Amino acid sequence: MLKPEVTGFYDQRTGSIQYVVACPSSRRCAIIDPVLDFDEKSGSIATTNADAILDHIRRHDLKLAWILDTHPHADHFSAAAYLKRQTGAPTAIGEHIRDVQRIWRDIYNWPDLACDGSQWDRLFRDGETFKIGDLDARVLHSPGHTLASISYVVGDAAFIHDTLFMPDSGTARADFPGGSAESLWRSIQTILSLPDETRLFTGHDYMPGGRQPLWESSVAEQKRSNPHVAGQSRQDFIQRREARDKTLPMPRLILHALQVNIRAGELPPAEESGQRFLKIPLDAFPASVWSS
């Protein structure tokens, strides 16, 4: 089995990890979960993260085959649309993005939003396979954090987004619209049924205890050391996850980001002045915990 070359790019502002997954024989690659920089205080957009990824691809003589999202993110903007304009590479996400679009169409009162996933070039089904050069890639539907979440299994590596974090950080929240702790448990069990040596690459790291950011573990390490799953029953997990989620404030960018990310990272169209505007619904989550 070919072993993919994996390079992670850590975004300090959002704790997000972006990946370039490269085929060692063909030099074709995929970008997974790229970040478009956004400063919510000034409303400014930048492409620093995405340009660093493109520079890496050029320096290592790679050819971009795919721009892949694991799910519509709530804590950063996706750079998929920008990267497609720069490279022409196709974009993809899981087919259940259509369900998420319908949820957020109502939250944003956005009746003309196309909820058919047509903003992406390809919508993957659970179990579907595709190629990154000579690498075999497979899609796992991994709902729980969102309805649309998928994982990508590429050779001996799995990109598991917001399911399992590093073993010292537990698991992802499951209280967003359409989320489910029970679904997250099932998704995690599917991931942990992969071979023990499978490399697991997570979507976020928040550096607990002030350690350096980390993003690679293994199935064996997660089963052994992650306190949210090691020795836990389904019911234990659900109770623990739901109790924890009740204490968490909404991500600071959720209302900014979803209107961009349910459209494959496409920013709102410019108005007559040339200015773009985000639309922020008030009291969309009236029961949510406030940040301190």
Helix (H, G, I), strand (E, B) or coil at 217: strand
Q: Name the one residue in this structure whose structure tokens are 């047509």.
A: 118
pLDDT for 63 equals 98
DSSP letters spanning 117-169: STTSSEEEPTT-EEEETTEEEEEEE--SSSTT-EEEEETTEEEEESSB--GGG
pLDDT for 291 equals 86
Instruction: State pLDDT tens for residues 103-118.
Output: 999 999 999 999 999 9
Each domain of the chain, given as residue ranges in start order, spans 5-261
Instruction: State pLDDT tens for residues 55-88.
Output: 999 999 999 999 999 999 999 999 999 999 999 9
d(CA 52, CA 115): 32
Pairing of strands 16-22, 5-11: antiparallel
pLDDT (average), residues 177-205: 98
Show the tokens assigned to 1.
Answer: 């089995």
pLDDT (average), residues 261-278: 96
- CATH of span 5-261: 3.60.15.10
Q: 289, 245, 276, 220: which is closest to 77 by C-alpha?
A: 276
Instruction: State pLDDT tens for residues 250-266.
Output: 999 999 999 999 999 99
Confidence of residue 50 (pLDDT cuts 50, 70, 90): very high
pLDDT (average), residues 130-140: 98
Which residues, 6 or more positions from 76, have their beta carbon under 8 angstroms from its beta carbon?
11, 13, 14, 16, 35, 36, 38, 253, 257
Which residues, 6 or more positions from 13, have their beta carbon under 8 angstroms from its beta carbon?
37, 76
Instruction: State pLDDT tens for residues 214-228.
Output: 999 999 999 999 999
Residue 233 CA, distance from chain mean position = 26
Statement: residue 142 has pLDDT above 80 = yes
Cβ-contact 241, 94 below 8 angstroms: no
